[in-house]
């Protein structure tokens, strides 16, 4: 039986793409699937070497410890974490986008807790 490690590289997740930045970009031989960003569940079919879908929204990598339990290194850096789909643990709210409110004042869109309607919460921006 084939193991997941023996599958072609383009069916295996690029560690750097999902957890920091892959400098190889489109020339990287590993999988870069935007729909899988932020997901921490490994594809069960991939584990059985049966998922050949490069656009699979599940992860094609064995995850030993959930990254959501590991503190984000970049959060304490001067510019903070800039990755919109960062799966590492954050203790501070993160700015992801600025939207206009009905009153004309800007609102910050912050990631909401899992299961929140729409996946975002709007918080008044303090000027």
Own/partner contacts of 18-23, CB < 8 Å, gap of 24 or more, are: 18/59, 18/61, 18/87, 19/67, 19/87, 19/88, 20/83
- Residue 19's pLDDT band, with cuts at 50, 70 and 90, is confident
pLDDT, one tens digit per residue, over 49-94 is: 999 999 999 999 988 776 777 888 888 888 888 888 888 888 877 6
Q: Are 96 and 121 in contact (CB under 8 A)?
A: no
Residues 24-43, mean pLDDT to the nearest whole number = 92
């Amino acid at each position: 039986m084939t193991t997941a490690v023996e599958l072609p590289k383009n069916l295996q997740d690029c560690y750097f793409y999902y957890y920091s930045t892959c400098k190889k970009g489109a020339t990287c031989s590993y999988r870069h699937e935007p729909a899988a960003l932020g997901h921490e569940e490994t594809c069960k079919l991939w584990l059985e070497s049966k998922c050949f879908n490069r656009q699979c929204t599940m992860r094609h990598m064995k995850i030993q410890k959930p990254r959501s339990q590991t503190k984000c290194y970049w959060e304490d850096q001067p510019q903070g974490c800039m990755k919109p789909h960062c799966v590492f643990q954050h203790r501070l709210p993160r700015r992801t986008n600025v939207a206009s409110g009905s009153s004309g004042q800007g609102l910050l869109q912050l990631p909401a807790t899992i299961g929140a309607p729409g996946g975002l919460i709007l918080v008044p921006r303090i000027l």
